[in-house]
Structure 1
Amino acid sequence: MKDYGTLHELNGRYNLKFERFFPVSPEDVFSILTSPEHFMQWYPFATGEMDIQLGGQITFDDGEGTTYTATITELEKPYLFSFREVDDLINISLEEEKQGCKMNFAHTFDDASWAVNTAAGWHRCLDVFSQIVNGEATNWQDNAAGLREIYSKAFS
């Protein structure tokens, strides 16, 4: 299934994986990925407060009065950006391809009951990220219910 994520279990944790291809260099994608202005357009609850360095903090606000931070655990320009958000790990790597680059996005978490909703959410977020990279206007499609149905079948 093109652009759909996959779910993997490893050592009692779960890992959602997505791939996206872009017709631009890893440097261009990495620049957008780590730009606070762009990050807050596609990443849930991002505030735009980001200290882009190894051990740096990214600040989030859930809109309901709770703020929290993530810690950047890996940062290798222009190929790797990882951070720990509470107990979850987000790992984003970029690989050069003939016509641009491939982005590998992985979210590792503990509670399998959230896999379907999380996959649908990331799918939508990565669609918006792709729009930003491709220089398109951001358009959040109203497709969450359909995606949850697709992922529910895929993960059962």
Structure 2
Amino acid sequence: MERDNFRPGPLAEVARVPAGDRWDLVFVRDLRHPPEKVWAALTEPDQLGEWAPFLASRDLGTPGEATLSTVDGDRTFEAPATVVRAERPSLLEYTWGDDLLRWELAPTGPGTRLTLRHRIEKADQAPIMAAGWHLCLDVAGHLLDGDPVGPIRGGEALDFGWARLRDAYAERLDS
């Protein structure tokens, strides 16, 4: 797909649930690919570099320390990360700075139901994170389909409908 023609797909299934003194954004997406292929996209640095909001210093498929570098244009911001659980190809959990990300992969016939639980500090961050993950996972879907569009990160997301997605998720999460 030509990058200029990329448009985000329909809204995902989302929820915002209390998690102690923080919140979990629960973001669910069905993918047409088997868990093993999705797992590779979630863990391998080369694939993460094509869709994720960060670059990974190492393969995330094993527990241990890592660095996740957020990219926004020419700027890069490093954050410490720790892979807490890596149960190939069904569960990946790691910290990213102060946040906790838990990726659950469940087979659905030929595909995968991907559930992301992103622990955030404040409830009002949920629509912002949902919009960002929406774009990232749409890009990941294209990558998995063999039709990469390249990563959409940071301020560039505004050119691809991020604000509209944020507003739509805010409405969905408040209802």
The 5 A counterparts of 1:36-115 are 36-46=45-55, 48-52=56-60, 53-62=62-71, 64=75, 66-115=77-126
> Does the CA contact (< 8 Å) of 2:15 and 2:27 recur in 1?
yes
The more displaced of 107-116 and 136-145 is 136-145
- Separation of aligned partners in 1, 2:65 and 2:15: 29
> Does the CA contact (< 8 Å) of 1:18 and 1:104 recur in 2?
yes
SS in 1 for 2:101: strand
C-alpha displacement of 1:76: 0.7
- Separation of aligned partners in 2, 1:73 and 1:147: 30
> Does the CA contact (< 8 Å) of 1:22 and 1:134 recur in 2?
no
Q: Report the equivalent of 1:16.
A: 25
TM-score under structure 1 length normalisation: 0.86
Q: Percent same amino acid at aligned positions?
A: 27
Q: Which one-letter code corresponds to 1:33 in the other structure?
A: L
Partner deviation per Cα, 1:32-56 (whole Å, 9 max, x = no partner): 221101112222132x411432113
> Does the CA contact (< 8 Å) of 2:40 and 2:47 recur in 1?
no
Q: Report the equivalent of 2:171.
A: 153
- Separation of aligned partners in 1, 2:42 and 2:76: 26
> Does the CA contact (< 8 Å) of 1:78 and 1:94 recur in 2?
yes
SS in 2 for 1:5: strand
- Which gives a bigger RCO, structure 1 or 2 (Cα 8 Å, sep 6+)? 2
- Segments of 5+ residues of structure 1 without an aligned counterpart are none
TM-score under structure 2 length normalisation: 0.78
- Separation of aligned partners in 1, 2:64 and 2:145: 30
Please, what is the CA RMSD of the aligned residues? 2.1
Partner deviation per Cα, 1:117-156 (whole Å, 9 max, x = no partner): 1111111111111111222222657111111111221233
